[in-house]
């Protein structure tokens, strides 16, 4: 267990995929191709948010001022508001990835394979219960590392709220205490933020998209490009491979490790 570092850190949370499994009249949305196969929550950790924020805003301004790129509809429609991996054109995406590789941050993620029976039994198919569980799982060993932590959560309908995220953090703190017999004395703040208003959430979106593409599409190029930044991918419901379900730069994601989804 790491000792608490007397410094302030910043965690920026986002999600990828969707939590839905069943649609109208009980239609399985995954089988019909209308929902993702996995749902994941991750956070970008940094001690220098201002440096990352300024770098992303500067890149955005350079792109908008570029005569060639400004002709691309997605640049004026989407990129002008924020970077969004699934909306940005390939030319913009390349620039964002190259910038991210140079920035000072780490990324942590939990992946939930969407098993209908498990989700019904464990979460009663309720999105807020799933999201709280994933956040608590993600943080149960990471809230003691710094004396002060600001947790920025990207808005998600009625699921991500001040009270639900506080419940998730309280669960993580209790789990840590029961495991290590140690009180968490860190000062933790929760901030709910719109993606468009916080550039570090743009960066979190990009990294999550990177991991999602590996799981959903079997495309590992972008993951391999950023894998030194991605300190943990925990595939929590891959029971066939448990306990070998923790992926890191030393044990990176590969097709043979995560198939089939």
pLDDT in tens, 48-73: 999 999 999 999 999 999 999 999 99
The per-residue pLDDT for range 200-240, each reduced to its tens digit, is 999 999 999 999 999 999 999 999 999 999 999 999 999 99
Band of the pLDDT at 1, cuts 50, 70, 90?
Answer: low
Are 226 and 97 in contact by the 8 Å Cβ rule? The answer is yes
Q: How far is CA 169 from the centre of its chain?
A: 16
Q: What CATH fold (topology level) applies to the domain 12-258? A: Nucleotidyltransferase; domain 5 (3.30.420)
pTM for this model (two decimals): 0.96
pLDDT at 258 over 90: no
> What tokens were used for 15?
């999600």
Residue 94 near residue 63 (C-beta atoms within 8 A): no
For residue 203, report the phi and psi dihedrals to the nearest 5 degrees. Answer: -65, -40
Structure tokens at 150: 């600001």
| Token couple for 49 | 């948010």
Domain limits, the chain: 12-258
């Amino acid at each position: 267990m790491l000792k608490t570092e007397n410094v302030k850190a910043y965690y920026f949370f986002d999600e990828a995929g969707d939590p839905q499994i069943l649609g109208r009249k009980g239609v399985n949305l995954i089988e019909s191709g209308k929902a993702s196969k996995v749902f994941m929550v991750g956070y970008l950790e940094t001690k220098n948010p201002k440096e990352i924020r300024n770098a992303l805003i500067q890149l955005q301004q350079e792109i908008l001022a570029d005569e060639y790129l400004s002709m691309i509809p997605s640049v004026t429609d989407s990129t002008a508001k924020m970077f969004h991996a699934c909306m940005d054109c390939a030319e913009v995406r390349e620039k964002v990835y190259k910038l991210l590789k140079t920035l000072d941050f780490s990324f942590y993620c939990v992946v939930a394979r969407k098993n209908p029976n498990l989700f019904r039994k464990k979460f009663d198919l309720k999105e807020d219960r799933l999201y709280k569980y994933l956040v608590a799982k993600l943080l149960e060993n990471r809230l003691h590392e710094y004396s002060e932590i600001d947790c920025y959560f990207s808005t998600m309908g009625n699921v991500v709220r001040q009270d639900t995220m506080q419940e998730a953090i309280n669960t993580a703190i209790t789990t840590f205490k029961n495991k290590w017999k140690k009180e968490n004395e860190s000062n933790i703040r929760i901030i709910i933020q719109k993606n468009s208003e916080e550039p570090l959430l743009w960066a979190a979106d990009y990294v999550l998209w990177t991991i999602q593409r590996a799981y959903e599409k079997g495309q590992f190029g972008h993951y391999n490009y950023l894998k030194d930044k991605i300190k943990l991918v925990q595939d929590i419901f891959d029971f066939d491979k448990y306990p070998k379900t923790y992926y890191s730069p030393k044990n990176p994601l590969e097709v043979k490790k995560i198939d089939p989804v």
